[in-house]
Structure 1
């Protein structure tokens, strides 16, 4: 396998991880309270999920460049 093919495989794997992370975030943010049964009347859990997603995205972007 040449270097270009290895790079394509690696890129596809990273894109799959990003898609899985985004799907998990949307699922937890939208339906996590019903699925896991947590009580979140003040939306603090959703705020924590959103903050961790944004900070993770920023860190991933910074480490990539």
Structure 2
């Protein structure tokens, strides 16, 4: 199993960046369900672990 943070829960960029930073040693990823969430997740994960997941759930 690998953890992911649901970006819809808190879309504040600083919060998402902190989650990526502190979750980096564990490969903690992000989950996005809309276009703005996906863009935020992609921009934040480029600074994180290459092993982290980016889950696109419900993206249209």
Q: How does the TM-score come out when normalised to structure 1?
A: 0.30
Q: How does the TM-score come out when normalised to structure 2?
A: 0.32
Bigger Rg over Cα: 1
Structure 1 or 2: more strand by fraction: 2
